[in-house]
């Protein structure tokens, strides 16, 4: 029996991990029966190994309950984070003296609502933040946390998709800009609140409204349109690279005075072909290079860019997976070894008879 157990605990731990929850308790009972010391068969080393290595879905409730009483804080912390841990065990861990254990229990979607309510009043901000971000936290507790003294707790609750509409409306008027930004990006934020945020004094709040996947197209177009006139090229560039940006806005930004904004339009896979055609003639090589690298660029434009005077542009054409074989054949004879090397990197796309040009 001892040799078999040593084999299980030692060289075949991975196989042991695959044991079902029905077999493991039986094995645990056998361990106790054949344990001559009368002490708990689970050593601290075994418990630590269980808590860190055992897959969450395979760890039986009886083992998790045993681990939850371990003297090592790291073991209890891992049990508190396990979504398979029983509610009764999580209820005890929610009252643990160590804040890291309570914090993991606060983030666990399986933690009972009454324990989340207790943890929402925890003296440690980090614990309250995890309650605020927990998708299982009830609406009444989220409303309570929306008034928390810590701006970081309010920010985390503002990003929670389970937030009630009334609480999001209140947080949209919070004095902290990054909290209003969190509301702006929350997919559960109603259109009425998003409209309010499009008039925010801080451009980042308006910017995040445009990034919200739940923002109506008409509202997004309006926000993006206003951001194209922003004095910061960083903001205009970010709008330009956003795949949600309407074609009309991309067309406007393609004529932006900032080269980085135009380059971002050139790199955007949503940029229409007629706009890419315009940017393929841009005076800045970085802009033309982005067009050359864009997989949405039409083959006719790639053919033109393959003859660009700038090596960087031709290299990007050679590396573009959308570049047709006839263009690669042309680039295989390029005067620049860097361009030819790029073609070599994608040589499998060339017909075999044309590979001689690379040698």
| Cα distance between residue 189 and residue 183, in whole Å | 7
Q: What is the total residue count of the chain?
A: 359
**Nearby residues of 287 by Cβ (< 8 Å), 6 or more positions away:** 259, 262, 263, 266, 279
Kindly report, residue by residue over 30-48, the tens digit of the pLDDT.
344 434 444 454 555 555 5
Burial label for 76, CB within 10 Å (0-12, 13-18, 19+), is buried
| Cα distance between residue 136 and residue 38, in whole Å | 42
Q: Is there a contact between 214 and 220 (Cβ–Cβ < 8 Å)?
A: no
For the question of whether the overall pTM of this predicted structure is more than 0.85, the answer is no
| Cα distance between residue 40 and residue 255, in whole Å | 74
**Nearby residues of 296 by Cβ (< 8 Å), 6 or more positions away:** 269, 270, 271, 273, 276, 322
Q: What are the two backbone dihedrals, phi and then psi, of residue 241, each rounded to the nearest 5 degrees? A: -90, -5
| Cα distance between residue 342 and residue 24, in whole Å | 56
Q: Quick one: tokens of 205? A: 């709040």
Q: Concatenated DSSP letters for 71-86? A: S-HHHHHHHHH-TTS-
Q: Quick one: tokens of 101? A: 């254990």
| Cα distance between residue 216 and residue 294, in whole Å | 28
Q: Sign of dihedral through CA atoms 119, 120, 122, 127? A: positive
Q: Give the pLDDT of the chain (359 residues) as one tens digit per residue.
A: 344 334 333 333 333 343 334 334 444 443 444 344 444 545 555 555 555 554 455 678 888 998 999 899 999 999 999 999 999 999 999 999 999 999 999 999 999 999 999 999 999 999 999 999 999 999 999 999 999 999 999 999 999 999 999 999 999 999 999 999 999 999 999 999 999 998 898 888 988 998 898 999 888 888 888 888 888 898 899 899 988 898 999 999 999 999 999 999 999 999 999 999 999 999 999 999 999 999 999 999 999 999 999 999 999 999 999 999 899 999 999 999 999 988 876 655 555 444 455 55
For tokens 């929306």, name the residue: 146
Q: Concatenated DSSP letters for 189-231? A: --HHHHHHHTT-SSHHHHHHHHH-TTS-HHHHHHHHHHHTT-S
Q: Is there a contact between 136 and 116 (Cβ–Cβ < 8 Å)?
A: yes
Q: Is there a contact between 32 and 5 (Cβ–Cβ < 8 Å)?
A: no
Beta carbons within 10 angstroms of residue 55's beta carbon: 10
Q: Quick one: tokens of 26? A: 């039986």
Angle at 193 between CA 192 and CA 194, to 5 degrees: 95
- DSSP conformation class of 355: G
Q: Quick one: tokens of 73? A: 């804080």
Kindly report, residue by residue over 66-87, the tens digit of the pLDDT.
899 989 999 999 999 999 999 9
Angle at 25 between CA 21 and CA 30, to 5 degrees: 145
| Cα distance between residue 55 and residue 43, in whole Å | 19
Q: What is the pLDDT of residue 60?
A: 84
Between helices 177-185 and 151-158, what is the axis angle to 10°? Answer: 10
């Amino acid at each position: 029996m001892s040799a078999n157990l040593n084999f299980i605990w030692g060289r075949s731990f991975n196989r042991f991990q695959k044991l079902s929850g029905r077999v493991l308790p039986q094995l645990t009972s056998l361990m106790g029966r054949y344990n001559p010391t009368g002490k708990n068969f689970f050593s601290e080393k075994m418990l630590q190994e269980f808590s860190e290595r055992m897959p969450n879905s395979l760890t039986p409730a009886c083992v998790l309950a045993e681990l939850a009483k371990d003297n090592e804080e790291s073991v209890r912390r891992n049990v508190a984070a396990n979504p398979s841990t029983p509610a009764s065990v999580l209820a005890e861990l929610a009252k643990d003296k160590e804040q890291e254990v309570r914090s993991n229990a606060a983030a666990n979607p399986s933690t009972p609502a009454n324990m989340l309510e207790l943890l929402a009043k925890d003296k440690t901000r980090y614990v309250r933040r995890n309650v605020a971000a927990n998708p299982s936290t009830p609406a009444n507790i989220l409303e309570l946390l929306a008034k928390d003294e810590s701006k970081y707790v309010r920010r985390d609750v503002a990003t929670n998709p389970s937030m009630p509409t009334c609480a999001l409306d209140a947080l949209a008027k919070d004095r902290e800009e990054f909290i209003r930004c969190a509301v702006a990006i929350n997919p559960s934020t109603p259109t009425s609140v998003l409209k309010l945020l499009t008039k925010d004094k801080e451009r980042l709040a308006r910017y995040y409204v445009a990034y919200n996947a739940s923002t109506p197209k008409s509202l997004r177009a309006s926000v993006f349109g206003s951001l194209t006139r922003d004095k910061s090229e960083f903001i205009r560039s970010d709008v330009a690279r956003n795949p949600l940006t309407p074609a009309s806005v991309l067309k406007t930004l393609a004529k932006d005075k900032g080269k980085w904004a135009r380059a971002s339009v050139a790199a955007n896979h949503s940029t229409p072909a007629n706009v890419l055609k315009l940017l393929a003639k841009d005076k800045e090589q970085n802009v033309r290079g982005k067009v050359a690298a864009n997989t949405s660029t039409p083959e006719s434009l790639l053919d033109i860019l393959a003859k660009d005077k700038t090596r960087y542009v031709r290299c990007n054409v050679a590396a573009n997976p959308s570049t047709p074989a006839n263009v690669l054949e042309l680039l295989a004879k390029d005067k620049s070894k860097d361009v030819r090397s790029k073609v070599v990197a994608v040589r499998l796309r060339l017909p075999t008879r044309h590979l001689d040009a690379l040698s």
